[in-house]
Amino acid sequence: MRVYNFSAGPSMLPEDVLLQVQKEMLDYDNSGMSVTEMSHRSKYFTAIVTEAEQGLRDLMNIGDDYYVLFVQGGASMQFEAVPLNLLGKNAKADYIVSGNFANKAYEEAKKYGDIRCVASSKESKYTYIPKPAKSDFTKDAAYLHITSNNTIYGTRYVKFPETDLPIVADMSSEILSRVVDVNKFSVIYAGAQKNIAPAGVTIVIAKKSLVDVDYTLPYCPTMLKWSTQAEKGSMYNTPPCFSIYVAMLVFRYLKKLGGVPAMEEINEYKAKLLYDCLDESKFFRSSVAVEDRSIMNVTFVTPSAELDAQFVAEAAKNGLVTLKGHKSVGGIRASIYNAMPVEGIKKLVGFMQKFESENK
């Protein structure tokens, strides 16, 4: 029996996609082999990666002035790739620290230049999104880095910063969940294991004008150079073939669903069901600023750590799994990415109401 998996990542995938993977596992497109076995130089995989790139371009309205790269190492590797690729333009950059991963990105970048934390919500345990004024940014910085959705703490940018600086955004835990104007960003990157595919592939969407001019620092490793991946069509070395294949199928699935606008409508509805339950409850509590609430990661607590643990354990017995909050903050976290169906949210809300009535 399949469960409703509220894991922050790796997360659940659409069942239709999993069934297609199952169907093609032994023989992809009459090739007589699995995608996990075929050469990345073969005509079969060339068709897969071509469709995957075009599928993402269609879903996010990515223009020809951007590269779409499929790389490895997760978003964490991009914490270093970003400064290594961009600080050659100007050894200064601004970072907004709105959560754990935003802070990690900032700490990595500090090794490579004059990196300034222009705003942070660390003092309040990242319960809100900092909102610096346009005048707060370093005028000649190479870029501004943000993390658009904070997986651990359950916050997101509802509105993105107003700045003349090139914006680099880690969108790992919300990519394809809502409509985003790609043209407002110079670089978007995202690990796949939330909304796209199994862990393994990382998406980098980068303006060609930044990559082609080559602002890389002289000691940037070849494998971390976006120009290397762009020149070789993400095929400099063997790519994460299976993850790219699943990503292609997920992009197909989203297109059939109506694209990102349709997905955003569903996600807003799912989040509202859960937040309405929290707001009406006298038992559960969320400490996140209402105006900054994530629609991907919903964090909350009961009146005690003991009840938190009891809730997680009993929920699992009811087919609602991986609800334990991140080890750094505790509590409860429901990650409700694209693949989580409305039925899963309704079942969770019903269980929350039952648990409250039995334990208040």
Q: What is the DSSP string of 86-146?
A: HTTT-SEEEEEE-SHHHHHHHHHHTTTSEEEEEEE-GGGTS-S-----GGGS-TT-S-EEE
Q: Which tokens go with 253?
A: 């699935």
Supply 171's token pair.
């969108």
The answer to whether 178 and 260 are in contact (CB under 8 A) is yes
Q: Residues 274-332: pLDDT tens digits?
A: 999 999 999 999 989 999 999 999 999 999 999 999 999 999 999 999 999 998 888 99
Smallest Cα–Cα separation from 4: which of 340, 264, 317, 360? 340
Stretch 215-232: mean pLDDT: 95
Is the distance from CB of 6 to CB of 336 less than 8 angstroms?
yes
Please answer whether residues 334 and 6 qualify as being in contact, where contact means their C-beta atoms are separated by less than 8 angstroms: yes
Report the CATH number of the 15-256 domain: 3.40.640.10
By three-state DSSP, how is residue 64 classified? coil
Asked whether residue 1 carries a pLDDT value surpassing 90, the answer given is no
Give the strand pairing for 202-207 and 167-170.
unpaired
What is the reported pLDDT for 103?
A: 98
CA distance 246 to 239: 13
| Pair of tokens at residue 239 | 């790519």
For 238, the token pair is 């063997």
Beta strands 114-120 and 144-147 are: unpaired
Q: CATH 3.40.640.10: which residues of the chain? A: 15-256
Query: How far is residue 97 from each of residues 84, 150, 283, 328, measured CA to CA in Å?
Result: 19, 10, 31, 16
According to the model, what pLDDT value does residue 89 have?
Answer: 84
Query: Which residues are bridge partners to 205 per DSSP?
Result: 68, 188
Q: Is the pLDDT of residue 243 over 90?
A: yes
DSSP letter for 325, please: P
Is the Cβ–Cβ distance between 2 and 15 less than 8 Å?
yes
pLDDT at 360: 80
- Given a cut of 90, whether residue 351 has pLDDT beyond it is yes
DSSP 215: -
How far apart are the C-alpha atoms of 173 and 194, rounded to whole Å? 6
Average pLDDT, rounded, for the chain: 96
pLDDT-derived band at 92 (thresholds 50, 70, 90) equals very high
CATH topology classification for 4-8+259-359: Aspartate Aminotransferase, domain 1 (3.90.1150)
Listed in order, the ranges of the chain carrying CATH 3.90.1150.10 are 4-8+259-359
pLDDT of 117 > 90? The answer is: yes
Contact by Cβ (8 Å): 19, 252: no
pLDDT band (50, 70, 90) for residue 12: very high
